[in-house]
Amino acid sequence: MYQLLTDSACDLPLATLKEKDVGIVSFHFTVGDRELTDDMGASYDLEEFYTQIKAGVMPTTAQINVGEYAAFFRPYVEAGTPIAYIGFSSGLSGSLNSARQARDLLIEEFPDAQIAVVDTLNASAGEGRMVLEAIRLRDSGATLDELAAWFTENAQRVQSWFTVDSLDYLYHGGRVSRTAATLGTLLNIKPLLDVDPEGHLRVVGKIHSRKKSLQALADRLLAALPSDPTQPLLIATSGDWDAANFVKDRILAQAPTANIQVGPIGLTIASHTGFGCVAAFVMGTDKRK
């Protein structure tokens, strides 16, 4: 059997990861002059963090470096345990490349080591959705090679959409221009974004009102739901629980038996979205285009 590993940007409940024996490596973030570790809320209260970013605090984040990945992987490699690391999109961070470099260094030292580094080409609960699939595959008896092959074929089927209440953080992170952020704020435009096939964010819609942007999230989840009506539909938010539940209720109004899970956007991702982001994730039939 192999060990499943992921990172703190997957935005699954920490209790779930522990229960399912999934190891976690942490990103880093800075608030003011405090350098902190994203341990998924274990030592830093998420609601307090949401209050800070709602007030305009601009955190910064740092990727996981090669040495941290090597130290994370090493105990399993030394024990002869194969590992599968399910990681944050290479299109959004250099972290996955660091994981690959760490893998290569360890294989030089341990030529028989089995280390699969899987690029989810996704973020937040989109990455988490892939971790749930990895758990399902492992528990159903899939080999490490079979798991890696499944991800190569299916990772692009995870559909991700999100909207934000303020464009300031996307501008701060270089995702939108100053002009777009200024005009969007003046005109009350709420962008609808997704994750493209290369794992980058892109704007796919500009919607004139918060309520309509949330309805758009519900509509897209409902459109993809027939691919597997029993699958978990993941909704995540950086503190706006009323908005997240609005999306949930709109889905349940048309699909009363839908398996919807609402959870928080973690510290790393929320540092880039700001307060009030709502995101939605589902496994579709077709690959992203």
Instruction: Give, in order, the Cα–Cα distances in Å from 4 to each of 18, 135, 139, 199.
Output: 11, 8, 11, 21
How far apart are alpha carbons 4 and 126 in whole angstroms? Answer: 17
CA dihedral of 84, 88, 94, 99, whole degrees rounded to 10: -10
**Contact (CB, 8 A) for 115 and 73:** yes
List, for residues 30-80, the tens digit of each pLDDT value.
Answer: 998 889 999 998 888 999 999 999 998 999 999 999 999 999 999 999 999
How far apart are alpha carbons 205 and 202 in whole angstroms? Answer: 9
Could you tell me whether strands 232-237 and 190-195 are parallel, antiparallel, or unpaired per DSSP bridges? Answer: unpaired
List, for residues 197-223, the tens digit of each pLDDT value.
Answer: 999 988 888 898 999 999 999 999 999
Q: Looking at residue 173, what is its pLDDT? A: 58
Instruction: Give, in order, the Cα–Cα distances in Å from 157 to each of 127, 150, 240, 281.
Output: 12, 11, 27, 10
List, for residues 223-261, the tens digit of each pLDDT value.
Answer: 999 989 999 999 999 999 999 999 999 999 999 999 999
pTM above 0.75, yes or no: yes
How far apart are alpha carbons 207 and 204 in whole angstroms? Answer: 10
How far apart are alpha carbons 30 and 40 in whole angstroms? Answer: 14
